[in-house]
Structure 1
Amino acid sequence: MQPRLNFYQASPEIINSVRALNTAVNGCGLEKELLHLVKLRASQINGCSYCVDMHSREAREDGESEQRLLLVAAWQESPLFTERERAALAWTEKLTRLAGNMVEDEDYEEVGRHFSEEELVKLSVAIGTINVWNRLCVPFRSIHPVKELAPAG
């Protein structure tokens, strides 16, 4: 698969704005581990191999276990995630799959049991930001940053 477009080169001004938002999210005060899980889950849902690769590698570098990373896709069935992480992952799925899926009062109330209003805004912006990156990387076919992931032959 060949890349279609280098969006960094095509529109550096807007991409620098997205990068600035990404920097703000990373420094917003939410737990780094939680942000890794959210970014990984949204990227899995969106089928963004570039971002799944990047965020799983970054999480490992920051000490996340391989087992938890593998189980993010099946987090609802795994006992390895805290209630706060579970609430964040559920919120990630709701916001990432927003089209045709209402965010019900029950969804809001559940995430609100684990996050303050300020944290909920930060979490929602984090989810929105990774979805922006996914919507750039998938259609423009961003290339994996790790060459050894390329198929042999």
Structure 2
Amino acid sequence: MPRLRYIEESEKTPQARAMIESAHKTGAPDPRVVSIMTRSEIGSAWVELWNKVLYEGVLPHKLKEMCRIQISVAHQCGYCSTVRSNVAKAEGLTEAMIEDLFRYETSPHFTPREKAALRYANLFKQGEQAIDKDEVYRDLAKHFTDEEIIELGQLCAQTDGVGKFVKSLNVISWEEACEINPKLTEARAEAAE
């Protein structure tokens, strides 16, 4: 049971209704979380920002979705770990690729550019000391423009920071997520290594 209630039908503004409908269509963010966030003006502003970060910009959406899922599994957010973007699926993101997210360095599923993004997302989740190094940015610069690095950093920051808050809402527990997708337990163990 979520710790904050969902928006009531009578409370929905046209903007909230449109955001929830969009979430149903895209698959991410999940409509349940959008139904909580749209109860607040700032929550609604975050939904708008998140949709821009996730679906707009210069980086391929599929790449951003892989980084989002990798960070989500690492912090055991049941909700974030089970949500899948329909747009990323249409761009070729498969469950086999998702299963390989924590073996990305050796997986044949990922390009060198995708591996660099996943490496950065992994370091980002470890903390600011892990990314505050010249070699991290030299590695990124081999594959990304400055504009793309800014976008990737924003995606990781939003996923990690807001993901912690969303996890605490208890929309879906880690245990429930592992019942939905038993492979999450294995993925989390690999993320911890």
Range of TM-score over shorter length: 0.7 to 0.9
Partner of 2:41: 13
For the Cα contact (< 8 Å) 1:56–1:69, is it kept in 2?
Answer: no
For the Cα contact (< 8 Å) 1:40–1:52, is it kept in 2?
Answer: yes
Partner of 2:161: 132
AA in 2 matched with 1:140: L
Shift of 1:140: 1.6
Deviations 1:43-89 (A, max 9, x none): 11111111111136664354322211111122123122111101101
Structure 1: give runs of 5+ residues left out of the alignment: none
Moved over 4 A (4+): none
AA in 2 matched with 1:81: F
For the Cα contact (< 8 Å) 2:120–2:131, is it kept in 1?
Answer: no
Q: Within 2, Cα distance between the matches of 1:9 and 1:69? A: 27
Q: Does 1:24 align with 2:52?
A: yes
In structure 2, the CA distance between the partners of 1:73 and 1:9, relative to structure 1 (3 Å rule), is same
In structure 2, the CA distance between the partners of 1:102 and 1:59, relative to structure 1 (3 Å rule), is closer
Q: Does 1:81 align with 2:110?
A: yes
For the Cα contact (< 8 Å) 1:21–1:129, is it kept in 2?
Answer: no
AA in 1 matched with 2:89: R
Q: Within 2, Cα distance between the matches of 1:133 and 1:22? A: 10
Of residues 55-64 and 11-20 in structure 1, the stretch that sits farther from structure 2 once superposed is: 55-64
Where relative contact order (Cα < 8 A, 6+ residues apart) is larger, the structure is 1
Q: Does 1:113 align with 2:142?
A: yes
Shift of 1:133: 3.1
TM-score computed with the length of structure 1 as normaliser:
0.82
Does the residue aligned with 1:55 lie in a helix, a strand or coil?
coil
Report how many aligned residue pairs link the two structures. 147
Shift of 1:141: 0.8
Q: Does 1:149 align with 2:149?
A: no
For the Cα contact (< 8 Å) 1:88–1:123, is it kept in 2?
Answer: yes
Structure 2: give runs of 5+ residues left out of the alignment: 6-32, 182-193
Does the residue aligned with 1:52 lie in a helix, a strand or coil?
helix
In structure 2, the CA distance between the partners of 1:132 and 1:47, relative to structure 1 (3 Å rule), is same
Q: Within 1, Cα distance between the matches of 2:119 and 2:134? A: 13
AA in 1 matched with 2:133: E
Partner of 1:33: 62
Q: Within 2, Cα distance between the matches of 1:112 and 1:62? A: 24
For the Cα contact (< 8 Å) 2:61–2:87, is it kept in 1?
Answer: no
TM-score computed with the length of structure 2 as normaliser:
0.66
Q: Does 1:97 align with 2:126?
A: yes
Superposition CA RMSD, Å: 2.6
